[in-house]
Amino acid sequence: MSEIVDVSFDLKSYEYSEAFRIANNVKDKANNIEVKVYLKDGTVGIGEASSSYRVNGEKVPALFALKDTLKEMISGEDVRNYRRIFNITDGLSRTAPSVKAAVQYATLDALSAVIGLPVYQILGGSKSKIHTDKTIGIDTIDNMVKKSIKTFNDGFKTLKIKIGENLKEDIEKMIAISEATPGASYIVDANQGYTTKTAIQFAQSIYAQNVNVVVFEQPIMWNDLDGLKLLRYNSPFPIAADESAKTKYDVYTLIRNECVDFVNIKLMKSGISDALSIVELAKTANVGLMIGCMGESSLGINQSVHFAAGTGAFTYHDLDSHMLLKEKFHGKFKQEGDALIPNPVV
C-alpha cells in the first residue's frame, strides 16, 4: 500500500521582499519546484527543490524535464524502504541535487504519514527546537548597520553578514555592525569573493578589533583547496566550506586535506542521503557543522528544520530564506522569533 505510484512537479515562484545581494550575485526571485510522490493508498508526500545555477549548475527547465524519468526510476518502491529510494536517486547528485533533495524528502514525508511519526523523529529526534540566524545582504554600510540592529532587536542573536566585494569597506562594515549590536555573534560569508591574501587580511583586521565572528564562510573560490588550507591556518576564525562542499565526496576531500573547521550542509546541494553521510563524516573528524539554505519557501525550510532537529548535528542554523521571500507560511514547523520547532504538539 505504501508503494510509489506517481510523481508530480509544480513550479512555484516567490519574489524576495527586497533584492538579495551577495558577492557578485543578486537575486529577486526564487523559482522552486514542489515535488509530490503519490502512494498506492492515496498518501501524498511533499518536498521542495530550490535550485541553484551558481552553485549546482541547475536550470529549472532542465530539472522539469526529469519528471517522467524520475517517476520511472522510483515507481513501485515502498517508502518504508526509503534507503532504496535514496540509493536510486543518489545518481542525481551531480546533475539535479535540489530535485534529489525534494524527492528524498517527499519520500520521508510520505513515510511519516504512513507510520504516524514526524520526519524529525524518523531521523533520530535529537532536538525538539533549533535556533536560526538571519542574513543581512550586501548593501551600504548605513543600511547594513540599520538592518543588523533591527534583526538583533527582533531576537536573532546570530547575524549572518554577506561580504566579499570590497575588503576595506567590509572591514569598516563589520566594525560598525559589531559596535551597533553588542552581544551578537556573526557568521560572515564572502561567497568566494576574496583571494587567500585578502581573506587573511580581513580576518586578522577584524579579529584585532574584537569582532565576534563565529564562522568565516567560503572566503575564496570553491576549487582552491590549497588556498583554503593556507587560510584555515592563518585565520583566527573558524573557516567553513559552503560552495566547496556539495557531495559527501567533496567533504571527504576537504577533511582529508585539512581545509575546513566547519562545513555548511545544504539539502539543496546534497540531498538527504549525502547530508546524512556528511553529518557522520564531520562528527568523526571533529569538524563543526552548520546548515544553510538556497531560496526555499517555508515548505523547503521545513525539510531542513526536520533534518537539523532530527540529527541534532548542527552548531549553527542558517534557515531564513522563507523570511526573505513574499509567501504565505506553509511549513510543518512553528516559528517563535529565532526558534524553529518541528511538528509542534497542538
Element (H, E) at 33: strand 25-39
Nearer to Mn ion, 37 or 225 (CB): 225
Stretch that binds Mn ion, among 59-67, 108-116, 160-168, 184-192 (CB under 5 A): 184-192
Residue 217's H or E segment, with its range, is: strand 213-217
Q: In this complex, which beta carbon is closest to Mn ion, that of residue 147 or of residue 269?
A: 269
Kindly state whether residue 318 participates in binding Mn ion, applying the rule CB under 5 A.
no
Q: How far is the CB of 218 from Mn ion (least distance, A)?
A: 5
Task: Please state the closest distance from residue 265 (CB atom) to Mn ion, in A.
Answer: 11
Distance CA 342, CA 101 (A): 18
Which grid coordinates are listed for 127?
A: 532536538
Q: How far apart (Å, rounded) are the C-alpha atoms in residues 290 and 266?
A: 9
**Binding characters for Mn ion, 136-175, by CB under 5 A (x = yes):** ----------------------------------------
Min dist. Cβ of residue 243 to Mn ion (A): 7
Residue where the block lists cell 566547519:
262
- Residue 146, C-beta contacts closer than 8 angstroms, at least 6 positions apart: none
To the nearest whole angstrom, how small is the minimum distance from the Cβ of residue 10 to Mn ion? 27
Min dist. Cβ of residue 242 to Mn ion (A): 4
Is residue 296 close enough to count as binding Mn ion by CB under 5 A? Answer: no
Q: Is the dihedral of CA 139, 141, 143, 149 positive or negative?
A: positive
Would you say 136 and 144 are in contact if contact means Cβ atoms under 8 Å apart? yes
Q: Is 162 a catalytic residue?
A: yes
Asked if 109 interacts with Mn ion (CB under 5 A), we say no
Phi/psi of residue 89, nearest 5 degrees: -85, -5
From 134, 147, 266, 269, the catalytic residue: 266
Q: With respect to Mn ion, which residue has the nearer C-beta, 109 or 274?
A: 274
Stretch that binds Mn ion, among 64-72, 113-121, 214-222, 304-312 (CB under 5 A): 214-222
Measured from the CB atom, is 222 or 329 closer to Mn ion? 222
Among 36, 100, 147, 162, the one annotated catalytic? 162
Judged by beta carbon, residue 39 or residue 294, the one nearer Mn ion is: 294
Grid coordinates given for 309: 532537529
Binding of Mn ion by 320 (CB under 5 A): no
Site string for Mn ion, 223-262 (x = CB under 5 A): -------------------x--------------------
Collapsed DSSP state (helix, strand, coil) of residue 317: strand
Under rule CB under 5 A, residue 133 binds Mn ion: no
Residue 272 falls in which region: left (phi positive, over 0), alpha (psi -120 to 50) or beta: alpha
* Shortest distance (Å) from residue 187 CB to Mn ion: 9
Give residue 169's identity as a one-letter amino acid code: E
As measured in angstroms, the least distance from the Cβ of 290 to Mn ion is 9
DSSP string spanning 40-98?
TTS-EEEEEE---HHHH---HHHHHTTHHHHHHHHTT-BGGGHHHHHHHHGGGTTT-HH
Beta-bridge partners for 98: none
Binding segment (CB under 5 A) for Mn ion, from list 3-11, 139-147, 212-220, 334-342: 212-220
CA angle 259, 265, 271 (to 5 degrees): 125
Q: Tell me how many residues contact Mn ion (CB under 5 A).
A: 3
Closer residue to Mn ion in complex, CB, 119/289: 289
Q: Is 189 in the site for Mn ion (CB under 5 A)?
A: yes
Task: Check binding of 338 to Mn ion (CB under 5 A).
Answer: no
Amino acid occupying residue 111: L
Task: Single out the residue of 78, 72, 63, 89 nearest to residue 9, CA to CA.
Answer: 63
Q: What is the DSSP letter of 3?
A: B
Q: Given the complex with Mn ion, which of 74 and 187 has the nearer CB atom?
A: 187
**Residue number with the smallest Cβ distance to Mn ion:** 242
Question: Could you list the residues that contact Mn ion (CB under 5 A)?
Answer: 189, 217, 242
Which residues are designated catalytic?
Answer: 162, 266
